[in-house]
Amino acid sequence: MNEETLEQTLRLGEDSVTEFKGVSKSNYKADRSDLAKAITALANTRGGHLLLGVEDDGTPTGVGTMEQADELMRQVTQLCQDTIEPPLLCNVVKREVRGTPILVVEVPFSPSRPHRAASIYYIRDGNRSRQARREDLVKLIQSTDYHFDEQPVAGATLDDLDRDAVRAFLAAAYPGRASEQHITPLLGSLKCVDRTGVPTVTGVLMFGREPTRWLVDARISAVRIPGTDVSRTFLDKQEIEGRVLDQLDAASAFIQRNVAAPSRVEGLVRIEGGLPLDVVREAITNAVLHRDYRIASQTRLLVFDDRIEVINPGDLLNQLTLENIRVGGISQKRNPVLASVLNKARRSESLGFGVPEMIRRMKELGFREPSIEVIGGHFKLILWTTRSAGA
């Protein structure tokens, strides 16, 4: 919340996404059970903001000294982990309004809902929090077809998106419609920002000025290792950060400069024999598209003398098996919003035939069939740079 939005919120009062809560004037602490109830209700309903140090009528009464504000922040973050089940991650920021310090707790619309506090589930009903009834819980459970990539990024604002990158994308995806007044509505329709204008995970990944500020492991660690075994000796190494499209280009360039592309001459024609670039890009696109961005692990790109290993965090989704992936036709997306935006950028397709097409292309050109496996919660794709016997 910026200063203007905060003042407007105080004037308009509480609603289904906003709650005010004063704190004790003796020690500037809040009642833990009330805090947990308010936070779970917002997380279970639509997300929103809990303003601490603000009375029910919108009057800011403060959270004490900076030391007392820090202690209250610790109280909030601790109860989000210890009292609320499953635990929540909420951004808590200090704001000053009318010369009075308050705390703003940014509560996400949680994909892990329903949450409970002291074994009780709460929801937001208008401007009050109440215990969820059975029919409310049924709706909550049914509504969890909500993915991490459409979750708003706590603390991020439209200013954290690169407007030039947004304009370039929208001009290509929506010719003639990407005027300045249409930018925010179009981003909203793509689910790159939420209804309040806060960038989502997809928005940050696609257009963020500095995506790793918000998603620390949204990067690719690329290394060139001599030989065919893992070692600590690197011929080349690069930490690839930035927006997803830039990561795809940088990772492809890394492979191109580190994988020999042997050729042969037939008559007067030189025949290139290296890995097909479209297969390389498909492998990297699949990694950044299907990885689990909630896991504290980056995508890894390992280039050996005989193979390329692309390793990304995330187990197979419920209906998928390695055989499904090899055969194709069954497509489950961990990040469907990101997939949709990448598709509009013409960097991915949506039918689930990526791996089968890679297998077909590699075999067609005489290379060994790519290998896929899941190890320790990570998906590994191996592209063999050596040719099959007799090829």
For residue 352, the domain's CATH number is: 3.30.565.60
pLDDT for residue 329: 56
312 pLDDT above the threshold of 90: yes
Q: Are residues 113 and 129 in the same domain?
A: yes
Whether residue 115 is contained in a domain is answered as yes
Q: Are residues 166 and 138 in the same domain?
A: no
Confidence of residue 319 (pLDDT cuts 50, 70, 90): low
Tokens of 101: 């310090």
Q: Are residues 209 and 225 in the same domain?
A: no
User: Which one has a higher pLDDT value, 53 or 28?
Assistant: 53
The pTM of this model reads: 0.64
Q: H-type helices in the chain, by residue range?
A: 3-12, 32-45, 66-82, 134-142, 163-173, 183-189, 201-207, 211-214, 244-258, 277-290, 322-327, 336-344, 354-364
pLDDT for residue 261: 65
Q: Are residues 50 and 120 in the same domain?
A: yes
Name the DSSP class of 150.
Answer: G
Quote the domain boundaries for residue 192: 158-214
For the chain, percent of residues with pLDDT exceeding 90: 55
194 pLDDT above the threshold of 80: yes
CA-based nearest residue to 50, from 71, 24, 23, 68:
23
Domain boundary among 166, 199, 214: 214
Q: Are residues 250 and 352 in the same domain?
A: yes
Whether residue 152 is contained in a domain is answered as no
Asked whether the beta carbons of 190 and 205 are under 8 A apart, the reply is no
The string of DSSP letters for 314-363 reads -PPPTT--HHHHHH------SSHHHHHHHHHTTS--SSS-HHHHHHHHHH
**Count of domains observed in the chain:** 3
**Preceding amide of 114 cis, omega within 30:** yes
pLDDT for residue 302: 96
pLDDT for 366-391, tens place per residue?
Answer: 888 899 999 888 999 999 987 765 55
Mean pLDDT for 217-238 is 94
